[in-house]
Amino acid sequence: MNEVRFKLKTLLVFLAACCGSGAWTIARGEQPPASGVLPPLYERFAPAEGAQPASDETPDFQKHVSPLLGRLGCNGRACHGSFQGQGGFRLSLFGYDFEADYQALLEEGAGRVDLENKLDSLILTKPVDADMHEGGQRYEHGGWEYWVLRRWIEAGAPFDKQHVQQLQRLEVTPPELLFTAAGQRKPLRVVAHWSDGTAEDVTCLCRYHTNDSAVAEIDADGVVTAGDVGDTHVVVSYDNAVVPIPVLRPVSDRTGARYPEIAYGSEVDRLILEKLQKLGIVPSERCTDEEFLRRVSLDVTGTLPSPAEVLAFVQDADPQKRARKLEELLERPAYAARWTTFLCDITGNNDDQLRNFLPQSARPADQWYQWIFQRVRQNVPYDQIVEGIIAAQSRLPGESYREYCQAMTEICRDPDGEKFADRPGLVHYWARNNFRTAEERAIGVAYSFLGIRIQCAQCHKHPFDQWSKEDFDNFERLFSTVQAQQNTMAPDAKQEYEAMLKELGLGKDLRGNNLRRKLGELLREGKTVPFPELIVRPLRTNNQKRKGRGEPAEPPRAKLLGGDWVTMDQPDVRGKLMEWLRDPNNPYFAKAIVNRVWAEYFGVGIVDPPDDLSLANAPSNAALLRYLEQGFIQSGYDLKWLHRQIVLSDAYQRSWRTNETNAQDKRNFSHFTLRRLPAETTFDAVRMALIQDDYRQKIADLEMDRALTRAGASARNNGRDPESYALTVFGRSVRESNCDCDRSNEPSLLQTVFLVNDPVVQEWLSDPKTGWVAQVARKYGWELPKQRGGASSDQQRRRAEQQLKNLRNQLKPIEERLAEARERGNTRMVQQLQKRVQDVRKQIQKVAKAAGIDGGSDATDSLRGGQAGSGIAPSQARWIIETAYLRTLSRMPTEEEFVAADNYLRSEENPTQGVEALVWSLINTKEFVLNH
């Protein structure tokens, strides 16, 4: 393959030399370059018959030499761009530190660029010799790459670091690639437009990669090859520009005029259908009323609908009932709780990280939660919520330090933290232990409010975005003036602070945690204690004069990401940061929250993952994201406007059941995607399914504590109580790093074990006072369940019998396929199926042995019904079964499900235990733990 490529490239170079500048263009299938655009280097530096290029121009270090080294792989991670470099030679990763790279190339005595013996320069001699160069041959001696580097060296290797040129835009054509078959190839053409008005074809100098190699591949020359059906992006990088190009290959022939006519009810749906039509994807049908109600209740409020609510909604004939139901849900306190938890996730409310700020008896995580809850409940515009975080101040205008301490003392006596919500600023955001340095704050603010990951730019140019180390350093400086620690306070407060300590009888030798502990004790005793506060220390201008000049030095400056410079000598630069965030032209602020909320409803963002709005990670539907972003800004950053746009769309209301065209679609919203419920919602749903009606309603109305109202994530609480353990098992966000991956929605064996047999589940199931099973038993005068922390031997046996039945049901089709494979003589398939049969049989023996059941007999006869049992009346059985399904799955049982449940209940000698087993089996279905 290498030999073929070598010969092909040699042929193309020969054609370029013999036939002029159009030969390479014809070979790539391109059109000739547009007038006013410099042709690519491979044309201008192709060797002529005399073995030298006809052009005598001097290549530019920034425009040509540095990107050429990138194309050749010299400044990649595996070569000289690695942190330690290679062979004593280190370049900046991907070549974006022009000055450093230039100095490395011209390092005295290294010989990489030898201006005395120019043709002996190592960058001309080593890369052409595979034996001499550890990285192998990178280009051919006498090829166009060789002549670009040679001409530059012969001209004295010029580079003026004071006049780095600005790339205005990178134009890539075509702007979208549409393929119809695998193996089709189409070239890209890339033109750089510079600030001086010049334009140049830089196709041969770009770096290329694909976001999904199964759908499309792209080679080093920018030629895209189609693969499987679907859509992705190929990404072009040059200088500081990163440009994604959509690539589509329809999944069916239902495109263009052959696409079915589908009505749409909103601009959201029009934009989605526009993309689906290109892909030949037909969306799923509308979901049922039961599915919609369960889906929207869990998504909007994190709460299961009640049985009465389900029945009333299904019977309602109003065509606008879904819109009315959404408005009703948006007014419930559980809506505020569910979305407060979401905002606490992305802002990092973690009580472990807040332990060293307030006195020990204070509850800063609860105060944080309540501060956000009140604003979500009141539908405060999102930009105002963020302003209260970004520009937070400890004291109110005109408030003295002692008055501030009196107010905070009163707030910290509130066990729920609700009083703190009346303070205008969320100072706690700045007081976390993992949010102390300017670097941590720059990364955290970018993650929380811009949806971008700039960690890479701490050390080098971001590989898939525009941010350089210089950009990071300039942005980071914005956060160097804020302090919020245990011992910080304004200068005017220090004397008052010492006076308050003296009044409390505390000496100066009491510090750190010992002081916090003592202040916490005094706080509980009702004493007013001193508190730390957030302070801002402006960076002042250095008084020294500029060297050789009489004028004073310029004030220190910071720079907004992709925005303006900000002088650091003003009272609080966070005001400028907030102005920039809410500027309608800000490319990230509104887009980040819109995309994140969309991902909460669909399980996947328009940009996914949602916390990576890098240029290379392009949106699956750019027009859709732009519409929602602009509409959200025009609404005044109204979060409820955003919820309405999403929930009332056809896309959200589609069924999870797929058709032949959309079964594999995961990113274009043609059907609803099944996804596991978040940890807090799962825990609350199990509890609400098993608790009696009046308590269930109190949980829904937040009149009882629930997981959804639990404030701060904490690693220290993971094993302290059943709720913490359960939330950890189901993947609650740990809020420890600036990454959405702090929360996990992946299924695990521990989750299954928890639902099957965790003591807390068994306690709820059999609680004689508050359990729903006990409510049923009292209703019909049956024996109350006996509360237990684990399953009884009878329950264990019944569950083992059910497991055995399920395993045998799995075994039967495998044995049938094994027989068919033997008939066809498919040896490989026979071996695979034999192993699966053995595995299932081993599992049957294991379950049977643990329960003391004969594994060889049918241990599930008691589940088949028909035997004399408890004598439950038919009307009783119907009410119990239907209510159990409505409480757990928010729907009525099918006829088949009803018959199976009815036979089982009526065959059970103890009706109470029969109801327990029925409800237990329902919460252990996939349908219960998935939102569908």
Quickly tell me which residue has 């690639």 as its tokens. 177
Q: Which residues have C-beta within 8 Å of that of residue 174, sequence separation ≥ 6?
A: 186, 188, 245
What letter does residue 627 receive in the DSSP assignment? H
Q: Which residue has the higher pLDDT, 95 or 515?
A: 515
Determine the average pLDDT of the residues in 768-773. 94
Rounded to an integer, what distance in angstroms lies between the CA atom of residue 300 and that of residue 323? 13
Beta carbons of 271 and 649 less than 8 angstroms apart:
no
Q: What pLDDT, in 10s, does the model give residues 814-843?
A: 788 788 878 877 777 777 778 777 777 777
Q: Label residue 76 left, alpha or beta by phi (over 0 means left) and psi (-120 to 50 means alpha).
A: beta
Which pLDDT value is given to residue 50?
62
Q: Edge to edge, what strands does the sheet with 199-201 contain?
A: 167-173, 189-194, 199-201
pTM of the shown model: 0.85
What letter does residue 713 receive in the DSSP assignment? B
Quickly tell me which residue has 């290029």 as its tokens. 53
Which pLDDT value is given to residue 2?
41
Rounded to an integer, what distance in angstroms lies between the CA atom of residue 344 and that of residue 351? 11
Quickly tell me which residue has 């006596």 as its tokens. 413
| Percentage of the chain lying above the pLDDT 70 cut | 87
CA 323 to chain CA mean position, Å: 28
Which pLDDT value is given to residue 1?
41
Which pLDDT value is given to residue 826?
78
Q: Which neighbouring-strand residues pair with 237?
A: 207, 242
Rounded to an integer, what distance in angstroms lies between the CA atom of residue 696 and that of residue 689? 8
Closest CA to 420 of 391, 394, 445, 448: 394
At residue 87 the predicted structure's pLDDT band, cuts being 50, 70 and 90, is low
What is the number of other CB atoms lying within 10 angstroms of the CB of residue 166?
Answer: 9
Tokens of 931: 């939102």
Q: Which residues have C-beta within 8 Å of that of residue 826, sequence separation ≥ 6?
A: none
At residue 81 the predicted structure's pLDDT band, cuts being 50, 70 and 90, is low
Beta carbons of 434 and 351 less than 8 angstroms apart:
no
At residue 77 the predicted structure's pLDDT band, cuts being 50, 70 and 90, is low
Tokens of 920: 């237990």
Rounded to an integer, what distance in angstroms lies between the CA atom of residue 817 and that of residue 820? 5
Q: What pLDDT, in 10s, does the model give residues 244-259?
A: 999 999 999 999 899 9
Coil vs helix vs strand at 78: coil
Range with lowest mean pLDDT among 9-23, 420-434, 781-795, 906-920: 9-23
Which pLDDT value is given to residue 646?
98
Dihedrals phi, psi of 850, to nearest 5 degrees: -65, -30
Among the residues of 825-894, which ranges form H helices?
827-851, 874-888
Beta carbons of 55 and 44 less than 8 angstroms apart:
yes
Cα dist. 299→284, 592, 599, 632, 696 in Å? 20, 19, 11, 20, 18
pLDDT at 188 over 80: yes
Beta carbons of 382 and 347 less than 8 angstroms apart:
no
What is the four-CA torsion angle of 415, 421, 423, 429, rounded to 10 degrees? 90
Length of the chain: 932
Most confident of 600-604, 727-731, 747-751: 600-604
Cα dist. 862→411, 663, 903 in Å? 60, 39, 10
Q: What pLDDT, in 10s, does the model give residues 366-419?
A: 999 999 999 999 999 999 999 999 999 999 999 999 999 999 999 998 888 899
Tokens of 138: 């990178």
**Helical packing angle, 307-315 and 289-301, nearest 10°:** 130
Beta carbons of 203 and 190 less than 8 angstroms apart:
yes
Q: Label residue 591 left, alpha or beta by phi (over 0 means left) and psi (-120 to 50 means alpha).
A: alpha
Rounded to an integer, what distance in angstroms lies between the CA atom of residue 221 and that of residue 241? 17
Closest CA to 201 of 377, 36, 51: 36
Rounded to an integer, what distance in angstroms lies between the CA atom of residue 704 and that of residue 710? 11
Beta carbons of 455 and 566 less than 8 angstroms apart:
no
Among the residues of 306-400, which ranges form H helices?
307-315, 321-330, 333-347, 364-377, 382-390
Determine the average pLDDT of the residues in 159-187. 93
pLDDT at 897 over 60: yes
Which pLDDT value is given to residue 857?
41
Closest CA to 594 of 450, 423, 739, 789: 450
Closest CA to 487 of 462, 512, 518, 450: 512
Q: Which amino acid is at 847?
A: V
Q: pLDDT averaged over the chain?
A: 86
Which pLDDT value is given to residue 85?
63
pLDDT at 299 over 90: yes
Most confident of 57-71, 305-319, 429-443: 305-319
Rounded to an integer, what distance in angstroms lies between the CA atom of residue 699 and that of residue 692? 11
What letter does residue 848 receive in the DSSP assignment? H
Beta carbons of 570 and 587 less than 8 angstroms apart:
no
Quickly tell me which residue has 């330690």 as its tokens. 84
What is the four-CA torsion angle of 375, 376, 382, 387, rounded to 10 degrees? 30
At residue 114 the predicted structure's pLDDT band, cuts being 50, 70 and 90, is confident
Degrees, nearest 5: CA angle 175-180-184: 80
pLDDT at 863 over 60: no
Tokens of 9: 């490239």
Rounded to an integer, what distance in angstroms lies between the CA atom of residue 401 and that of residue 492? 8
Closest CA to 194 of 186, 202, 183, 203: 202
What letter does residue 204 receive in the DSSP assignment? G
At residue 447 the predicted structure's pLDDT band, cuts being 50, 70 and 90, is very high
At residue 18 the predicted structure's pLDDT band, cuts being 50, 70 and 90, is very low
Rounded to an integer, what distance in angstroms lies between the CA atom of residue 628 and that of residue 615? 18
CA 500 to chain CA mean position, Å: 46
What is the four-CA torsion angle of 609, 615, 620, 623, rounded to 10 degrees? 130
Beta carbons of 444 and 350 less than 8 angstroms apart:
no
Rg (CA), the chain: 34
Rounded to an integer, what distance in angstroms lies between the CA atom of residue 150 and that of residue 45? 10
609 upstream amide cis, omega within 30 of 0: yes
